[in-house]
Structure 1
Amino acid sequence: MNKWLSSSAMVAALIVSQSAMAASKPTIVLVHGAFAESASWDGVAAKLVKDGYPVVAVANPLRGLKYDSDYVSAVLKSIDGPVVLVGHSYGGSVITDVAVEGTNVKSLVFVAGLAPDNGESAGSLGKKFPTGTLGDALAPPVVQPDGKHDLYILQSKFWKQFAADVPEPQAALMGAEQRPVTAEALNDPSGDPSWKKLPSHFIYGTADKNIPTELHEFMAKRAGAKETVGVKGASHVVMISHPDLVSAMIERAAADK
């Protein structure tokens, strides 16, 4: 009986210790981009959770920049304690546009993410370095009842365009399960950017066909990034093909002062 009590006490102490460790670390809020969904963070989230970080993978609505950023801002305000805010692709535009005032966001991580300045959009940024091939890979828009136009990547082109460094069967599932973004969201102008107020980190794949390397480097330099990592040969979904590198950067951002 005493042995059982001792074991129970040890288990209870371990649970309390793990809870305290999680409470002492910032919450990592992950915002997916267009043509993706929250499961695109699975590898990254698994590593972060294993290392004791609380994680929230937000279901980005992909309906419009203000709508999406307001939605994420509301999620942020519901979280106690410090937050590291992470955005992939168009999700980078969303974390750029969030209202960080009144939240505990301490740093930003752009994962193959867009970082527009005031008045810029995803579309206008693409025109600065027009070597991306996304436009040629899109299916005809699907007109919604509200008049907005949903965009999808053609499934036949999804692997090579979006996720060329993951196995083809996995990319085929990703293409089948992709969530559309409205064309309007990609052309909505950004407001006052959060990266002018907070430290930022950038990681991207050098074989990204959605956002060219030159644009990634331009945005990171303009934001005064604390660090910029180009993963050689990685595609637009660097968080899926290289989750350890991405999670390691997020953990470094969690140490920002």
Structure 2
Amino acid sequence: MTGRPLSRRHTLRTTAGAAAALTVAAAPPAAASATGPGPGPERTGKPTVVLVHGAFADASSWNPVTERLQQYGHPVIAVANPLRGLTHDAAHVAARLAAVPGPVVLVGHSYGGAVVTQAAATAPTVKALVYVSAFIPDAGEVLGELAARFPGSRLEASLDPVPVPSSAFTDRVSSAAWHTVPSWTLISGRDRGIVPELQRFQASRARSRTVEVPSSHLPMYSRPDAVVALIRSAARTIAA
């Protein structure tokens, strides 16, 4: 993962390992995101939950989580992560956060964890960070180098590189909000994309409140109730 640039136009090899690690199940488009009018934090008494997806995905990857959170009365926004590189993506999410009234629980999955880590550093309304099978980089780190510290990932073997410039895994992280914002982490114990050892290391370093589930890289589908429970735990620490 250290020497190959990633792009939204990467394709996935149809191997069993790749499917287990990276495939996002199809979801109804109607529930892809909760960005339209609805009860805000001033109506519900709850902070807004903002969800940021990872690579090889879109906002619909959060559907099972979005639906459950809304059933509990949480305002939810599933942001469309542009996937144009860490610097660009973090700036896009930060701009979206600036338009959200009241406190925010900011949640990132996979590569989205790096995006929320950097975006929250310039978003004072973010009061809690939640990482779901995610990268949790520190300032100055590069995702490719971070991932290479712990062997066993099938991510690189699952990619067919194409000659399109991308800085997702080569951008250096400018700032890490988890130093000042409390965090919660869900570790997927059967993850073959971001290996569990890396997830545990990152969570420990960030002093996250941590739960671990026997899931692959997509606990939003295999363990949505656990994901929702962790987000709600973070939300309960915040007064809207």
Match of 2:233 in 1: 252
State whether residues 94 and 123 of structure 2, in contact with CA within 8 Å, keep that contact through their aligned partners in structure 1.
no
Larger RCO (CA under 8 A, 6+ residues apart): 2
Match of 2:179 in 1: 196
Secondary structure at 1:117's aligned position in 2? coil
Larger radius of gyration: 1
1:98-113 aligned at under 5 Å gives the runs 98-113=119-134
Secondary structure at 2:68's aligned position in 1? helix
Please report how far the alpha carbon of residue 142 of structure 1 lies from its aligned counterpart in structure 2 after TM superposition.
Answer: 4.9
Report Cα offsets for 1:38-63 as digits up to 9, x if no partner: 00100000000011011000000010
Q: 1:124 to 1:44 in 2, by over 3 A?
A: same
TM-score by length of 2: 0.79
What code does the residue aligned with 2:179 have? K
- Out of 206, 211, 226, the position equivalent to 2:194 is 211
- Out of 211, 216, 221, the position equivalent to 2:204 is 221
Q: 1:20 to 1:39 in 2, by over 3 A?
A: closer
Secondary structure at 2:100's aligned position in 1? coil
CA distance in 1, matches of 2:228, 2:73: 12
Count of residues paired in the alignment: 200
- Out of 57, 61, 72, the position equivalent to 2:93 is 72
- Out of 153, 169, 174, the position equivalent to 1:132 is 153
Q: 1:100 to 1:23 in 2, by over 3 A?
A: farther
CA distance in 2, matches of 1:137, 1:43: 25
Q: Which runs of 4+ in 1 moved over 4 A?
A: 18-22
More displaced 10-residue stretch of structure 1: 117-126 or 79-88? 117-126
Unaligned 5+ residue runs, structure 1? Answer: 1-17, 149-181
TM-score by length of 1: 0.74
Match of 1:120 in 2: 141
CA distance in 1, matches of 2:75, 2:133: 22
More displaced 10-residue stretch of structure 1: 20-29 or 184-193? 20-29
What code does the residue aligned with 1:208 have? D
Report Cα offsets for 1:92-148 as digits up to 9, x if no partner: 0000111444531110000001010111122111111022111111113253xxxx1
State whether residues 105 and 235 of structure 2, in contact with CA within 8 Å, keep that contact through their aligned partners in structure 1.
yes
CA distance in 2, matches of 1:20, 1:255: 13
Match of 1:155 in 2: none
Q: Does 1:59 align with 2:80?
A: yes
CA distance in 1, matches of 2:84, 2:61: 19
State whether residues 110 and 203 of structure 1, in contact with CA within 8 Å, keep that contact through their aligned partners in structure 2.
yes
Report Cα offsets for 1:57-81 as digits up to 9, x if no partner: 0000010111000000000000101
What code does the residue aligned with 1:239 have? M
Please report how far the alpha carbon of residue 185 of structure 1 lies from its aligned counterpart in structure 2 after TM superposition.
Answer: 1.1
Unaligned 5+ residue runs, structure 2? Answer: 1-38
CA distance in 2, matches of 1:192, 1:137: 29
State whether residues 204 and 236 of structure 1, in contact with CA within 8 Å, keep that contact through their aligned partners in structure 2.
no
RMSD of Structure 2 on Structure 1 (CA): 1.6
Please report how far the alpha carbon of residue 194 of structure 1 lies from its aligned counterpart in structure 2 after TM superposition.
Answer: 0.5
CA distance in 1, matches of 2:173, 2:237: 25
Identity %: 45
CA distance in 2, matches of 1:102, 1:92: 15
What code does the residue aligned with 1:186 have? F
Task: Judging by fraction of residues, say which structure has more helix.
Answer: 1
